[in-house]
Structures are given as structure tokens and as C-alpha cells.
Amino acid sequence: MAAVGLGFCGILIVARPFGAQSVPIGLIAALGCAVAFALTAIATKRLTRVASVGCILFWLALMQSLLGLAFAGIDGRIALPHGKVALWVLVMGLAGLMAHFSLTKALSLAPATIVTPMDFLRLPVIALIGALLYAEPLDPWVLLGGAVILTANWINLRA
């Protein structure tokens, strides 16, 4: 439980919501996404006991497609991608499917307490991509918060 608290402190260091009149909506959305991702990992791990990876991926892709379609048409119009955009949408869809396959397969082979912390290795990779491709600044607070989060994951793996 201490590792969870330390990881949350790392998130607060990166987000720095202190001093704001109210909690930023982006931070609330990120927290909601983190909870949803954790619940998805737990459900996926449990499903790997009774269903094949292919079956899990099928239902996951179907649910995400239906939800995505519903949200895409929330204003009553659905704009279909065309030209080069359609190609990039296809590439992103395949990359997402491969990510789900990799995570589901990993959860079928190893405990979630091992797999999920390893997923946090995305943090430094994303920070590096942001800095190199989008000129996103890497301030000391982001680096410190990332180090705290990775330390919390290391503690969790050692427990």
C-alpha cells in the first residue's frame, strides 16, 4: 500500500495541481482514466482464466468500437476519415490492437502485479517522444515525479 501512496505522490509532483482555485478537469479525467485502466487490467486478468486471448480481444475491440462510434456521433454527425487520414486511423487501430494483444497475452502468462508495473515503462518513452517530436519541455518536476513513480513500481515489484 505504501508503493501506491508513493506512486500517487509522483503523479501529484508531475501534475502540480496545487494553488489552483479548483482541481483542473484534465486531472480529474486522467484520474478517471487511471481507475478505468486498472479495472480493465483486473478484468482482463480474470478473463484470461476462462477465455482465450483471441476471444478477449474480440469482445474488447467490439465494445471499444461501439463506444467509439457512439461518442463519435454524439453531435449527430460522424465524419469518416479519408485519404491519408484514413491510413493513419488504420495504423493507429492496428497499433492499439497489438497493444491490447500484448497486454492480454502478458496477463495470461504472468501475475498482474508483475505485468502492470512494467507497463509504466511507457512513462520515460512518452516523455522522450514528447521532447524530441513535439518540443515538450522536460522540466525537473516531471523528471522527479517520473522517478518517484518508477521507484514506487520498483518497490511494488520487490514486495
Whose cell is 522540466? That residue is 139
pLDDT digits (tens, 9 = 90+) for 13-50: 887 777 767 777 888 888 888 888 888 888 999 999 99
**pLDDT tens-digit readout, 121-130:** 777 788 889 9
CB atoms within 10 A of CB 89: 13
**Would you list the domain boundaries of the chain?**
23-109, 120-159
Distance CA 123, CA 129 (A): 10
Q: What's the whole-number mean pLDDT along residues 86-99?
A: 94
- CA atoms of 61 and 96, how far apart (whole Å): 10
